[in-house]
Chain A
Amino acid sequence: MDISLLLKMAADAEPDRVALTCDGRHWTYGELWNAATGAAAAIADSGATHVALLDTGSEAAPIALFGAALAGVPYCPLNYRLADADLGALTARIAPAYIVGDTARVAKLAADAGHTALDRAAFVAAAEAAADPEREANEGAEDNGGIAVQLFTSGTTAAPKAAILAHANLVSYILGTVEFGAADADEAALVSVPPYHIAGIAALLSSIYAMRRIVLLPAFSPEDWIALCTSEACTNAFVVPTMLSRVVETLDAEAAAGLSRLRAIAYGGGRMPTELIARALDLFPDTGFTNAYGLTETSSTVALLGPQEHRDAQVSADPAVKARLGSVGKPLPTIELEIRNEDGRVCAAGTPGEIYVRGDQVSGQYRERSALDADGWFPTRDAGYLDAEGYLFLSGRADDVIVRGGENISPGEIEDVLVAHPGISDVAAVGVPSAEWGEVVAVAIACTPDAPDDDAIRALVRERLRSSRVPERIVRVDALPYNEMGKLLRREVRLLFERPA
């Protein structure tokens, strides 16, 4: 099984239907397929072992993704925001690569590494010129271990790991979650996540297999997102929480009316504040919201909270149902999911532990090693628990759990209490070293002018939680550090406390 089949099926079914809109140009399924076959020939001629994308989202992303698949080499989109030294180290690990995008940067970083570098326009022109419309999708994908995609993790603690996704993982994910050609002719999905993120790759594969037109927004701003969503009459969108927050802040009544075609908003990739999703549900009363939880190593989504569950939670008087607005929903039917404690035993409902998943879409493989256990389970390093009805709640990265005097404290529980205070606009809780307790709680807060003083903050936590959760150290900042996907950078928050109190 090979991901090239997904595009080939769409191109066979309706070659003249528009697949992708980018910078005002439309690409049909037939045009994308033909370009992918040409790209495959160009990639094969170059002798490259990897195909890299060093560019914002454009038609070049799907052409390179499927072209790499047809050529039998991994597709490896790179984070163009990385500093030169970091990016240079990554390109060295995939040499010799066929690199599409910023040729000047390739020349500067790795002129002698044997890479073939083409800018976007040259790549697309070469791909179209070499098109082989009679070509079939690949059958076996055994060459190169059947790797479709290689993504470098963000490397918070060490050098970035090269997560690999096999064709079989991605095809299983798509066949298990998307019905072929299910999209109506008017459906269009606004894609604003970067191409080097798993959500960016999943967006291409899912929309192409559903035959839902992709509308690419290469660089996110709330104004551009609203304008493109309106002008292209988008019906679907995927956003990370920070994007939704900025759209909600920017939206006025006139702009909201322009988004009336938006039937579905899916979100994921970071912690969604309950206040924000509640506000979004009010602002978009006719839109279905889906919360997706997944990781690079799991080929994207493994659990989701659907539109009806959002609306039920929004209006319910039952605290357990209401709480589900903060849940990531239930595992996909094709996924097994368990919460395990430190001894490896499965936890009872309501008891937090580490989330383990298993299924055909789960890779859990890195270039360097496999993270799967003997029975094929992948430890996500995310902490969480299941409620009595099987809804999954996340409580942060397992590595982020604060261990104070042997007691495990989830940063999320402290953050939830504090962020509800009107004087606090954002908060992060981290563990900092303590001679007495091993670790103690420290919080960094971004304040509004009505910020509570330190005593009031401690009193609030003591009152709502318990004394072990009371922050020992408190710093005030203008804004907390986030990466471009809206993920809080806790390691940078910890640095705020390295100076002695």
Chain B
Amino acid sequence: MKAGSKLKSAVDDTEVMVIKAPAGGTVSCGGAPMGDDKPAKKAEIDPAHADGTKMGKRYTDAAGTIELLCIKPGKGSLALDGVALLLKDAKPLPSSD
């Protein structure tokens, strides 16, 4: 996994762009590992990982080792090695362009 690559969910339509790649570990969505391609058959979503993602939001862990940009939202929530990622708080800036 490297910055700029896309990850797809195995349980729903979720897709993320890797903004900052972690040193290692498994990124999952809805409890199932994400991959470069969608599986032929969707896996079952884990109800414990079903808080959903929002389009255009960024997700990170507490230590800031990973950052993912949601480019297609879905019902599954994102996790790194089973630990749920957090919505990254963006301090709004006034438009300067």
Contacts and interface: CB of A to CB of B under 8 A. Distances in A.
Residue from B3, B4, B90, B97 with most neighbouring chain A CB atoms (10 Å): B97
Given A1-B17, A290-B94, A140 B4 contact: yes
B91 to A, nearest CB: 7
B71 A1 contact: no
Residue from A9, A202, A205, A301 with most neighbouring chain B CB atoms (10 Å): A9
Given A139-B5, A266-B94, A180 B19 contact: no
B97 A264 contact: no
Interface in B47-85: 55-58, 69, 71-72
Contacts of B96: 177, 206, 238, 266, 268, 290, 292, 294, 300-301, 304
B25 interface: no
A244 to B, nearest CB: 15
Interface residues of B, number: 21
A182 interface: yes
Interface string A173-187: 001011111100000
A179 B90 contact: yes
**Contact-size category for A:** 35 or more
Contact of A304 (B6, B69, B92, B94): B94
B57 A203 contact: no
Residue from B5, B6, B94 with most neighbouring chain A CB atoms (10 Å): B94
Nearest to B5: A139
A206 B95 contact: yes
B93 interface: yes
B17 A5 contact: yes
A111 B59 CA distance: 51
A148 interface: no
Contacts of A207: 97
A268 B91 CA distance: 22
Contacts of A332: 93
A306 interface: yes
B55 to A, nearest CB: 5
Contacts of A307: 94
A66 to B, nearest CB: 15
A180 B54 CA distance: 10
Interface string B12-31: 00000101000000000000
A212 B91 CA distance: 19
Contacts of A292: 96-97
B4 A182 contact: no
A301 B19 CA distance: 21
B56 A203 contact: no
Query: Mostly helix, strand, loop or mixed at chain B's interface?
Result: loop
B55 A9 contact: yes
Contacts of A141: 4
Contacts of B69: 175
A175 B71 CA distance: 12
Given A1-B17, A13-B55, A306 B3 contact: no
A500 interface: no
A36 interface: no
B92 A12 contact: no
B4 A139 contact: yes
Given A5-B17, A175-B19, A180 B56 contact: yes
Contact of A236 (B4, B55, B95): B95
A199 B94 CA distance: 15
Nearest to B71: A9
A182 B71 CA distance: 15
A189 interface: yes
Nearest to A146: B4
Nearest to B73: A13
A179 B92 CA distance: 7
A201 B75 CA distance: 35
A266 B69 CA distance: 27
10 contacts: A1-B17, A1-B19, A141-B4, A179-B90, A179-B92, A199-B97, A290-B94, A292-B97, A301-B97, A333-B91
The 7 lowest CB-CB distance pairs between A and B, nearest first, are: A180-B56, A292-B96, A206-B97, A202-B97, A1-B4, A301-B96, A290-B94
